[in-house]
Each structure stands twice: as structure tokens, then as C-alpha cells.
């Protein structure tokens, strides 16, 4: 990897512009979840320990290039001070004199209050670069955006990855860059149409691809099976068949459900039954993978050395249609704890599903990056990473 880390930089006496993701949930003017703040603390602590001054650049909400008091990073300042255990100076506008005069950690107002941020305007990149001596990107979750604070400024200062960014990139490289084989990928979720690039990339990189959720129904239907009233993109049948054919040529084994859980209505505690994948009643919906399918997935995990997971296997939000996701996730976590498996997962629904299954703590790495994680899995170049030289 071509990018540098904090350990490669001389930070003593330097102002370190540090792009972070502190776009945290807020209710009634208070931060309700400090997870993202906690994850940037190692980077801030290490900059301070090396004699540097961390100046935090971040966005908050979607102000659309206009100042909006409801989206001011002042809202985050108290939670940031509490997590870091130190005072944080808030700066309304980019100003080097104010930054030099401030002690310790500095937080600059929402970068997206200017339309030049999302336009990646070179003028804003130059304004930001004038604030510091070194640039550190610790916001992998924003690395798929070519913005002034994520990409533009990185070309104007000595640049490096922060601890969280380096951890994320290291985990992803172990999963797809230079993985221990065999590699199994789980791709679930509602629609094939949102994950065509992902499927196309993975079947060239992994040894087995487990397809679940509503996506699996489209593949079953493409093979001539009746999926009743299930969520299904019938117009993508030909695309699904092309993906299956491509997998054969690349040597990637596709694992689809052989049995399924069906119900007449989607609600908690709805009457359900297990049927063969090709025996869904015309008036029923497929809402989860069945026990035989879970056994096959568990066997695949046991044979694998690396697992990448994006998307649930069924309608995990409501019991009993969370059973397949829960069982498979717990199996992956157990194998990881035993040292048999490197497991990396990411994406909003995925994180929620693994947390609900009580399995997240067992995975090697859980990415909270959302769109950036998905674009990385699709094989796309992430501007914020490329700008660091990687």
C-alpha cells in the first residue's frame, strides 16, 4: 500500500488537519450515539502525543452549501470533549491565527456550509491547506467522496491515513486485496439492481458467493422457480442468468437457498412454514432462507479462511424471519473467535443485523463506512484513499 500513516510523519510542533467523521445522531440538541467519536480518539491522542495540534475537519448533515445553525458542529463539541477527556476549541470559520492561538484540539465549523466543499473547488482546498502543516484523513466513511476536505487538500500538504482509516484499509486488504483462501462472500438485501457492480466484482475475486434476502428470489425466479408474491425483480432475470454464467467461467461457486421460509403476511409472529425453494405457494412470500440452506452456509464458512459480508439473508427486522441471518452470523463469529476465519462485514443493514444477532463482537472487523465500504467491495477507486497515494 502506498499511503503513509501517522508513524511516517514528523508531527512535532505541526498543525495537523484531521478529516474525521463525526456525523453522529442528534436528538433535541444532544448527541445520542458517540461511537463515531470514540473511533477517532486514537488518532487524536497519537497526534497530541507526537507534539502535534489536531484541527478537526468534518461535515454534519446535509446543509447543501449554506450555513444552517441546526447543522453546526457546535452541537457535537460537548460530546467530543467528553469522549476525548479534554477541552476542544470551536472555530467558526477557517482562520490560521485563531487556530495557532487555540490550545490543544480545535474543531472547525461544518465544511459543507460552503458549496465549494462538495464541488471540490481548488480555492477551498487552498484555504484549508493554509490552516495546517500536515493532512491526516481518518474518515474512511467519506473516502468515496471527492470533496475539498477529503481529496483536494490531500494534494497540497504532506498526507497520511489516521489510525481508523489505516485499520479499515488494512482489514479490507486482508479481505479482498491479499486474502487467505478460500474466500466466501455473503451478499444479501432487497434488490439485485442496487448490487450489480458488487456481484460482478466479487465473482472475479471470491471462491464462493452466498446470495440471500430478496436478491435470492430474483435468482430463483431466473432459474424458472415460482416465487409467489415474494419481493422479486422479474425484469432482471436475464441479468441474473448472466451473473450465474459468469460465475461458472470464473470458478466462483454460487450458493442460493435450497429451502425457504414462507408466509402470507409480513408481520411479527406471522404463521410461516418451511418449503423447498421451488415450492413456494402462489399466495405466499419468501421471507428467509430455510434451515438446510443455513447448514450449507455454515459448512461454507467452516471451509473458508476469509469471509466478507454485506446484507442480511432474510427479513431480519422481524422474527421469525431473522433466523437464517442470526444463525449464520453466530457461526461466523464462532469460527472467527476460534481463529479459523478472518471475517469483515459492512453496510448499514449488515451492521444492524449482526448487532441484532449478537454476533458483531465476534467478527474480525465491522466497517461502519456504508457507501465507501460498498464502493470498495465493487472494486471502485476511492478518491479520498487515492489522494493519500494508495
CB 19, CB 149: distance < 8 Å: yes
Beta pairing, strands 285-289 & 259-263: antiparallel
Q: Quote the pLDDT of residue 175.
A: 87
Q: Based on the number of CB atoms within 10 Å of its own CB, is 13 exposed (0-12), middle (13-18) or buried (19 or more)?
A: exposed
Summarize the confidence of residues 224-244 as an average pLDDT: 96
Q: Quick one: pLDDT at residue 3?
A: 85
β-pair partners for 253: 208
Among this protein's residues, is 371 annotated catalytic? yes
Q: What is the pLDDT of residue 77?
A: 97
Q: Are strands 53-57 and 15-19 parallel, antiparallel or unpaired?
A: parallel
Domains of the chain: 6-162 (3.40.50.1260), 179-377 (3.40.50.1260)
Taking only the tens place, the pLDDT of each residue in 259-304 is 999 999 999 889 999 999 999 999 999 999 999 999 999 999 999 9
Q: What is the mean pLDDT of residues 160-175?
A: 92
To 5 degrees, how large is the angle CA 177–CA 182–CA 188? 80
The pLDDT, as a whole number, for residue 2 is 72
Question: Cis omega before residue 291 (within 30°)?
Answer: no
Q: Average pLDDT, whole number, for the chain?
A: 95
d(CA 238, CA 202): 19
pLDDT of 1 over the 60 cut? no
Catalytic residue (choose from 65, 170, 370, 371): 371
Cβ-proximal residues to 242 (8 Å cutoff; 6+ apart), any chain: none
Rg (CA), the chain: 23
* Of 13, 342, 376, 12, residue with least CA distance to 165: 376
Residues 308-364 have pLDDT tens digits of: 999 999 999 999 999 999 999 999 999 999 999 999 999 878 988 999 999 999 999
Distance (Å, whole) CA 117 – CA 138: 17
Active site residue 191: yes
Q: Which of 170, 348, 370, 379 is the catalytic position?
A: 348
- Calculate mean pLDDT across residues 209-228: 97
- Which of 36, 145, 163, 195 is catalytic? The answer is 36
Active site residue 348: yes
Residue 47 confidence class, pLDDT cut points 50, 70, 90: very high
Q: Report the largest interatomic distance among the alpha carbons of the chain, rounded to a whole angstrom.
A: 72
**Catalytic, out of 86, 191, 337, 380:** 191
d(CA 224, CA 237): 9
SS (H, E, C) the chain: CCCCEHHHCCCCCCEEEEECCCCCCEECCEECCCHHHHHHHHHHHHHHHCCCEEEEECCCCCCCCCCCHHHCHHHCHHHHHHHHCCCEEEECCCCHHHHHHCCCEEEECCHHHCHHHHCCCHHHHHHHHCCCCEEEECCHHHCCCCCHHHHHHHHCCCEEECHHHHHHHHHHHHHHHCCCCCEEEEECCCCCHHHHHHHHHHHHHCCEEEECHHHHHHHHHHCCCCCCCCCCCHHHHHHHHHHHHHHHHHCCEEECCCEEEEECCCCCCCCEEEEECCCCCCCCEEEEECHHHHHHHHHHHHHCCEEEEECCCCCCCCCCCCHHHHHHHHHHHHHHHCCCCEEEEECHHHHHHHHHCCCHHHCCEEECCCHHHHHHHCCCCCHHHHCCCC
Closest-CA residue to 184 (of 342, 336, 370): 342
Amino acid at each position: 500500500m502506498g499511503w503513509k500513516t501517522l508513524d511516517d510523519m514528523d508531527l512535532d510542533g505541526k498543525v495537523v488537519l484531521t478529516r474525521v467523521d463525526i456525523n453522529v445522531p442528534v436528538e433535541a440538541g444532544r448527541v445520542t450515539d458517540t461511537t463515531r467519536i470514540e473511533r477517532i480518539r486514537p488518532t487524536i491522542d497519537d497526534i497530541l502525543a507526537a507534539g502535534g495540534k489536531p484541527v478537526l475537519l468534518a461535515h454534519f448533515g446535509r446543509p447543501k452549501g449554506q450555513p444552517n445553525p441546526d447543522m453546526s458542529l457546535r452541537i457535537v463539541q460537548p460530546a467530543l470533549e467528553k469522549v476525548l477527556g479534554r477541552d476542544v476549541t470551536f472555530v467558526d470559520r477557517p482562520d490560521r491565527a485563531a487556530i495557532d492561538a487555540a490550545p490543544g484540539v480545535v474543531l472547525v465549523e461544518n465544511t459543507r456550509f460552503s458549496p465549494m466543499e462538495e464541488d471540490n473547488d481548488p480555492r477551498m482546498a487552498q484555504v484549508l491547506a493554509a490552516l495546517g502543516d500536515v493532512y491526516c484523513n481518518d474518515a474512511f466513511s467519506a473516502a468515496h467522496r471527492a470533496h475539498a476536505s477529503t481529496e483536494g487538500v490531500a494534494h497540497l500538504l504532506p498526507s497520511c491515513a489516521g489510525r481508523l482509516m489505516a485499520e479499515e484499509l488494512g482489514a479490507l486488504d486482508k479481505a479482498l486485496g491479499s486474502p487467505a483462501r478460500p474466500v466466501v462472500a455473503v451478499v444479501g438485501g432487497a434488490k439485485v439492481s442496487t448490487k450489480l457492480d458488487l456481484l460482478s466484482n466479487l465473482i472475479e475475486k471470491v471462491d464462493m458467493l452466498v446470495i440471500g434476502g430478496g436478491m435470492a428470489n430474483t435468482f430463483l425466479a431466473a432459474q424458472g422457480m415460482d416465487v409467489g408474491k415474494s419481493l422479486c425483480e422479474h425484469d432482471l432475470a436475464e441479468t441474473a442468468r448472466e451473473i450465474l454464467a459468469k460465475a461458472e467461467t470464473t470458478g466462483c461457486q454460487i450458493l442460493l437457498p435450497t429451502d425457504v421460509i414462507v408466509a402470507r403476511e409480513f408481520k411479527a409472529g406471522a404463521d410461516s412454514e418451511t418449503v423447498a425453494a421451488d415450492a413456494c405457494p402462489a399466495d405466499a412470500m419468501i421471507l428467509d432462507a430455510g434451515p438446510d440452506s443455513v447448514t450449507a452456509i455454515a459448512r461454507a464458512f467452516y471451509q473458508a479462511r476469509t469471509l466478507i459480508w454485506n446484507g442480511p439473508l432474510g427479513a431480519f427486522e422481524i422474527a421469525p424471519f431473522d433466523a437464517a441471518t442470526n444463525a449464520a452470523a453466530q457461526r461466523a463469529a464462532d469460527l472467527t473467535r476460534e481463529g479459523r476465519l478472518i471475517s469483515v462485514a459492512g453496510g448499514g443493514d449488515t451492521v444492524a443485523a449482526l448487532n441484532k444477532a449478537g454476533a458483531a463482537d465476534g467478527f474480525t472487523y465491522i466497517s461502519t463506512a456504508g457507501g465507501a465500504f460498498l464502493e470498495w467491495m465493487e472494486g471502485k477507486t476511492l478518491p479520498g484513499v487515492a489522494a493519500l497515494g494508495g
